[in-house]
Structure 1
Amino acid sequence: MLLLSVYAMSLLAVLGVIVDRIVGEPRGRHPLVAFGQFATKLEARLNTGRRARPAGILAWIVAVAPPVCIAWLVVSVLPFAYACIVHVMLLWFALGAKSLREHIAPIARALSLGDLDSARTLTSRIVSRDTSQADELALSRAAVESALENGNDAIFGALFWFAIAGGPGALAFRLANTLDAMWGYRTPRYLRFGWAAARFDDVLNFVPARLTAASYALTGDTGMAWHCWRTQARSWDSPNAGPVMAAGAGSLNVLIGGAAIYHGVLEARPTLGAGHNATPRHVVAALRLIDRSVLLWLAVFLVLPILSVTTNA
């Protein structure tokens, strides 16, 4: 059974979050590793420089459509109880809340101890910018930015698409987001080939990103978050990361953005947020903001069945 009732969707969404919170990402060889390897081989075969944009569209479809269609078929033919288990497993696969904390929190600890070398190494694992010469301010800023943006990519986007299309929807979002992270760069190699991956991710993220920004605003300094969202988001390159990061930074009363080196090129990015320069305590605060936002989403999921009963009464 693919189409979930409001009651089942709400309960399964909460269960998926609990499983991720307790278990985290699969130990050993994560399925996304195999997906990434397949995507790498696919890109090498199709990104030959000729008709790169159509090749990128084809590559995206070949990578995403088969696993999502298989997931759709499986939950459609299984008995309801077994289909629910698959829905939860797919949401667990798509979520990365515990993994996000496991990657971000050690950066804050290393910075608090003054261990810049460790902080640089840890930060380089989660961002594409050059951190080899970064100081405490730059590393704190990078960690806050990564936490805020990945709150949407690793948590709220998956929950949104789970609410829309169950486990297959969450799976589609995670795979599309992974391809954007692999191909969605404005470099000579990926500018045209990665166009489809970037655009599909933009479309799938449009609503979740704004719900994430609203969640950050409602669980922190609401007034400042709305102000930064309204006045700063449009200045950011990404139409979806802009609202998320502006609202998150405003909610935390911290300044992020600014110049950073990507692929050997210094990019003068606009400043987002307000208040203080980023410090290790803001990294911890960003994780707490995400935790509060997760609780807000879970509360909404638990209230939805009650609202459905009231509406139908």
Structure 2
Amino acid sequence: MNSFLESFYANGALLVMWGALIFHLLIPIPQSAHPIYYWRRLAIAVAGKVNQPTSTAPQQAFSGLLAWALFILPTIAVLLAMQSLAWQAQFYQLALLLLALDWRGNETLTQLLIRGLSKEDKAYVRTTLQTSVNRETSPLSLIGLGKASAETLILGYSRRVIGVLFWYGLLGGIGALIYRLAMELARSWSPAQPHYQHFGKPALVAFSLLDAAPQKLFALLIMIGASRQSITSAIEQSRTWHNPITNWLLCGYANKFGLSFGGPAMYDSTKYQRARIGGKIVPSAYHLAVLQKDIAWRIYIWLMLQSTIMMMIHKGF
């Protein structure tokens, strides 16, 4: 393991990371042409074949486990095999990290949501938001749309940027891409949707294991500069949030800016009651802009910290 890490960092891992970020921000891959788009479509198509509604709950869960293994394990084997055949290891790592990152996509989505909320155009925000969430957006009021938009913005950046960078730092481009692919499977087969209630649990558990460390570390980072009261409230409210992986992050931001998150969420006509967290301020277009700016600064700090750690490892400290 030590020899692998030494080889990885000696091959310009830090330059690859910054190069991928620059390329991604300057020349993003169109969403409709991105391999991730076809990965999601394939995941839904496969689930439609193997997830039988007449099967028992254990059978559906086992089918979900086999489907997850069918997607992830051969992908890891192919990526490892291609790594040994790559002409230049740095370009190969660069390509994988580019496929995993989605900073620009989150920026674009946020700008569209800010535009719709500023005009109080509920139909526009519902349509825009529906492409990025599994929950039903059609019954959401302007208040609900503001909450959903803020939650989507925070989780989008924390997973598609921070989570990807975290796993790149540990396991290179392969680690970053596998994390992103696992995230897309967990989203495509989300157990919050009734027809994936059992089938999607293995994918969710696997992704939660990958997602826990970057989410918790980023949550600690965003609380820098927050008041003691907001930190205390965030810790208390995190115990009531349904997702133990994202509870620190969402409760932290909700209390830091006094924003109201949570409440009922509808998935395929099934209503789920979620805890209400944060303050009493309903997120608006202005608050989305503030959140985006704050998250961007936290990502820059993360990049500096990760770059420093990678340099120290390369030098043998």
Structures share fold, TM-score greater than 0.5: yes
Change (3 A) 1:175 1:299: same
1-structure distance, mates of 2:230, 2:102: 24
Change (3 A) 1:231 1:10: farther
**1:52 and 2:60 are equivalent in the alignment:** yes
Read off the aligned partner of 1:119 and give its amino acid letter: V
2-structure distance, mates of 1:207, 1:114: 37
Pick aligned residue for 2:296 from 284, 288, 291: 291
Read off the aligned partner of 1:289 and give its amino acid letter: D
Read off the aligned partner of 1:232 and give its amino acid letter: Q
Structure 1 residue 62: deviation in Å? 0.6
2-structure distance, mates of 1:295, 1:128: 29
What root-mean-square deviation, in Å, do the aligned CA atoms of Structure 1 and Structure 2 show?
A: 2.3
Deviation by residue 1:61-112 (Cα, 9 ceiling, x = unmatched): 1111222221122223435xx1111111111111111101111211111211
**1:173 and 2:179 are equivalent in the alignment:** yes
Read off the aligned partner of 1:230 and give its amino acid letter: I
Report the equivalent of 1:16.
Answer: 20
Cα pair 2:134 2:267 within 8 Å, conserved: yes
Larger displacement relative to structure 2 (272-281 or 82-91): 272-281
Change (3 A) 1:241 1:277: same
- Match runs of 1:1-313 below 5 Å: 3=5, 4-5=8-9, 8-26=12-30, 28-48=32-52, 49=55, 51-78=59-86, 82-218=88-224, 221=226, 223=228, 226-274=231-279, 276-308=281-313, 312=317
Change (3 A) 1:129 1:308: closer
2-structure distance, mates of 1:212, 1:28: 29
1-structure distance, mates of 2:39, 2:4: 24
**Count of matched residue pairs:** 309
2-structure distance, mates of 1:310, 1:253: 43
Structure 1 residue 128: deviation in Å? 2.5
SS at match of 1:256: strand
Structure 1 residue 28: deviation in Å? 4.3
User: What is the TM-score of this pair, normalised by structure 2?
Assistant: 0.89
Change (3 A) 1:187 1:146: closer
SS at match of 2:239: helix
Change (3 A) 1:268 1:40: closer
Cα pair 1:228 1:274 within 8 Å, conserved: no
* Runs of 5+ consecutive residues of structure 1 not aligned to the other structure: none
SS at match of 2:191: coil
Read off the aligned partner of 2:40 and give its amino acid letter: G
Deviation by residue 1:110-155 (Cα, 9 ceiling, x = unmatched): 2112322212221222222332243322211111000111122211
